[in-house]
Structure 1
Amino acid sequence: MTDNQPAITDEARHQATLIWDYHRMHHDVRPVDVAIGLGSHDLGVPVFCAELYRAGLFSTLVFTGGPNPTAPERFPRGEAVHFREHALDLGVPDTAILLETKARNTGENITFSRQVLAAAGIAPAWVLLVSMPYMERRSFATARKLWPEVEVICASQPLVFDDYLKSIGDDKMVIDM
């Protein structure tokens, strides 16, 4: 937390932790046809995608997301572009990555990623959605609604709430979201 941030009350932290716990899906991560790294302000998404790729859980990875409305200065060329660059730095080969650079919300992440995969001739049966920890349930519900013919697994970096707050560095932004 920076010096100019207001202090978060214990009650707000408690309530946020309850919501955090609810939104985690706790799916067992296993090999899938394709993974989709959902755009956000969180570099933990491409870090975890790279870890799972190196573990051999998928051969194709889509990064999805345009300019971040919450923190536009963080990824000025769009979330997917920055996530791809970060994953490349972490050893994911360029040939394994597809980009979707227009999505502005979870529904568009799913819809546009599906289109990118179809254009590449990929029709997955199993999809792993990698997101911020508190986006798992929303991304799961959105994918089930918009892409009912695929089986969906959700995952995020395995962090407890306080460690996640530290990794982002802005308690108020995370709690407000």
Structure 2
Amino acid sequence: MITPQNWADAQTLWDFQLLHHPLRPCSVAIGLGSHDLGVADVTASLFHRGLFPVIVFTGATSRTTEECMPRGEAEHYRERALGLGVPSSAILVDNHARNTGDNIRLSRQLLEEHGIDVRSALLVSKPYEERRAYATALKLWPEVEFISASAPLSLNEYVATIGDENLVIDMLVGAQQRVQIYPGLGFMVGQVVPQEVKEAYGRLVKAGFTSRIMCEK
């Protein structure tokens, strides 16, 4: 059972992950694969607003998506965007990436192969992955200016779209753990994590929301 304290802690993590970057035109958009087709919806919407001419959808499958997205996350994103009126000529697909680092590295490689000059990129992710995506991109592609974006939803609204409150909190905890430990492993740039965020994370771990965390060595 999710307690009021659990919800309050989840809200603390949610608020920390959102970067609130002002949107502006960029060279490309990179839609990071996941179980959430809302990423494709947001990317398509921003394309129609004229914020970028090219989209890279990146993602293979994971334990969360192997059944619901059997053709790969990026391919399901592409199909969703096509259904929303994005032309096929504007979409590139990487169906090999299995983590955020892969998303950035393989998107960069794909864009280079197509001769696309990238000076700025709009990263589209799940709301609770904004900070992780941004910090990873800064580490792996420092010469590009990045902006993070996601669906403009509250935590409660997002949970309603996913339909599984425990999964969302587990994912929040997993994202927070990576923000805290990945800089030390060289996977992303360091982030200043406020004490109240660390404490909220610790309480949620103790409460058992741990299905998406990694074992720390």
- Shorter-chain TM-score category? over 0.9
Q: After superposition, give the CA deviation of every residue in 1:30-70 in whole Å (9 maximum; x if it has no partner).
A: 10000000001111100000100000000000000001332
The answer to whether residue 77 in structure 2 is matched with residue 83 in structure 1 is: yes
Provide runs of 4+ in structure 1 moved above 4 Å. Answer: none
* Distance in 2 (alpha carbons) for counterparts of 1:11 and 1:77: 39
Aligned counterparts, 1:10-159, within 5 A:
10-159=4-153
Between the aligned partners of 2:8 and 2:18, the Cα distance in structure 1 is 16
What are the superposed Cα offsets for residues 79-127 of structure 1, whole Å, 9 maximum, x if unpaired?
A: 0000000000000000000000000000000000000000000121000
CA contact (8 A) 2:55 2:92 kept: yes
Residues matched between the structures, number? 171
- Conservation of the 8 A alpha-carbon contact between 2:65 and 2:73: no
- Residue of structure 2 equivalent to 1:171: 165
Q: Normalising by the residue count of structure 1, what TM-score does the alignment of the two structures yield?
A: 0.95
Unpaired segments of 5 or more residues in structure 1? 1-6
The structure whose RCO (Cα within 8 Å, separation 6+) is larger is 1
Q: Distance in 1 between matches of 2:48 and 2:99?
A: 28
Amino acid aligned to 1:60: V
SS in 1 for 2:15: helix
Q: TM-score, normalised by structure 2?
A: 0.78
* Partner in structure 1 of residue 205 of structure 2: none
1:37–1:63 contact (8 Å) kept in structure 2? yes
State which structure, 1 or 2, has the greater radius of gyration over its C-alpha atoms: 2
SS across alignment from 1:27: coil
CA RMSD, 1 decimal: 0.7
Percent identical residues? 55
SS in 2 for 1:154: strand
Superposition deviation, residue 14 in structure 1: 1.1
Shift of 1:71: 3.2
**Structure 1 or 2: more helix by fraction:** 2
